Structure 1
Amino acid sequence: MNLLYWSLGFFLSIPYSVHADSPKEAPEIEPCTVRSPHSGSFFDLNGLHIPDPSTVKSKNARDYSWNATGWDMGYNFTMNFCGGIVERLEDFGGVEGIDKQLWRNVSAYYRQGGKVYSIGQQNMQPVIRGRKMVLNYTDGSPCPELRKRADVADNLTPREIIDGDDDDKENEDEDKDGDKDEDEADRPKSSTRRKTTIISMLCERDPLMPQLTLSFVASPDECTYVFEARTSAACASIQKSTQTLSPSGVFGVILMIAIIVYVVGGCVYSRMVLNQRGWRQLPNYSLWAGIFGFFKDVVIILTSSCARFMPSRRGYSQVNGGIGGMGSSRSGRDSEAENRLIDELNEEWDD
């Protein structure tokens, strides 16, 4: 019998077909995650995201973003990770220098003088800088006008040349005046830079520490803001692969593999060790044969029970025999003859 060979061929063809049909591909990187090109470590910052309370079904949903104290800046900072802030900026009068349709994309801001200033739009792509992980927010509110070194130089009083040559002095003054006019003409009246935020993500493995410790570090020119965030989300973790099968599908695959191993292993053992042939090569053949016989008997019993309800020719002959009372009289004579025969046999037995 070729059952053993067919089973072995089917079992050995499974790994080959899987690898041939589905080539190995690198897993896709989800938003707000990054893999280090140096060490290969995987980082996921989605755990720091605070969702919009209107989209959360929980009654105790958090309705405020992460906060950081500004210390000597005179104001505090509010931000979120992997998404816009939770607060509604419309209630504060909007954001300075940002279009209204982009207010929901603001990921960091501060309030000063009754106005709201954005320090960066949302960014879902962390960056690895050496051994550091950095998250940048850009395209915030316009930066204030910056004083340039040329302005400071203009305020300095020029020294006189002590050589008695007044003509050279006048020519030099004219040249300076001409250069000054050209510089003022070329100098932009307002800055085009926008506020940005740099967040350095540091790994914190202490289980007693809060989920996130956000600290303001510096702002050198009121246009760039540097923060430090200590959190366990910044520690290397294992990337969760996308599951293509449902739990029932995974269970079905495991069950199928177990059945194949059971059948193939049992057939090999029965054939090589017990020298069985035919259907007796199957493992526990007597058990499966008994189960099959049990179901066979059940089917026979059910079919015989149902056959009783089927119409038969006997009922049809009784109906015909009962016409005119002939059937009833004949059955009565037969019963009397049987009774007499029984009585005679009893008398002979007594004698």
Structure 2
Amino acid sequence: MIVKFCTLSALSALAQSVPGCAPRWQRGNPYTRDSLVSSVDVVDRAGTETVVTKNYKCISGSDLEPTLSHCSTYDPSNLLQASVAWTDNGVCDENAPAPASPTSALWSGVGCPKSWTEGAPYKAGELAEVDGAVFKCSTILFVNAWCGTRDYKPGAGLFWTNAWTRLGSCDGGTMNPTLSPVFQVLTNHEGCPKTFDSSFSHYEANDKVSVPVTDAVSVVYKCSSDLHESRWCNQFEPGRSYNLGWELVGYCDGTLSPTSSPAFDFLDEISGGCPRPYSSASLYQPGDQVSLWVEGATIDRAVVWECKQYPHSPYCNSGIHFSPGSENSHLGWKRKGYCQGSQR
């Protein structure tokens, strides 16, 4: 009688020690290091197969990059895959309360951005929310084009870590301002540069422009400081075409005043008249300046270009394909400003 009592007590204690089952593992879910799941397993005991449910803990991924994990695709019920990505936490009780899953810390912003939408044209650096987590779309050229596709859904798609970065969890409130989630990660530029003008074809490295979002608020872009990437600034509008050539640097306040001569809005006037017009037949030295008439301009002004110092100066004498204002002008020429009046 005593033995029977002890056995029942032991069994009761054992039943109480079995934890509840975590949510069932599903392929493609955004599992990161330390995520808890459950899975059905078959246990062979003395030749008898028994079906049980076990808890597993994700061990794939590093402390620095917890999202770089195989747990979204490696099945814990598969012995080989489980040995790489999961640790067996033992049998669980599906009728007991599920164990608490680890949660990520709140992100540095306030509230939650808009929920991720499949097919949306996400811009580089734009934010989105999925299941209470905040994600940032990649700022790498071309990569942000994937941010709205199903396989790159933040936290869930098979390849989402290639296009998104998890910033943390959010408290469920609405971001303020709600005009654009991008503003939450931008700095105030302290004044608006001239508005981007698609008809102006002489943008150069480090030029800044603004793109109005409302009558009072604009975002500021800077043409890449890289000589090869900056060539795209005259072919693509900032904020579109995957931001080729342009870098989002901040936002600015205030109404932008219109001007009568947008082709020269970004140039400083050079006094003393205009240098001689460029000629492919001339031989130019470092520091030589030439003038170039802007096609379609309605005022008597010309753009002034200066031949760069060595080792760039040989391009100044490499023919029309490297002439001022051409696609390759940045290799040998630097735009200095504009001039008007007679030649020097």
TM-score bracket, shorter-length normalisation: under 0.3
Structure with the higher fraction of residues in helix conformation = 1
Structure with the higher fraction of residues in strand conformation = 2
Q: Which entry has the higher C-alpha Rg, 1 or 2?
A: 1
TM-score (norm: length of structure 2): 0.19
TM-score (norm: length of structure 1): 0.19
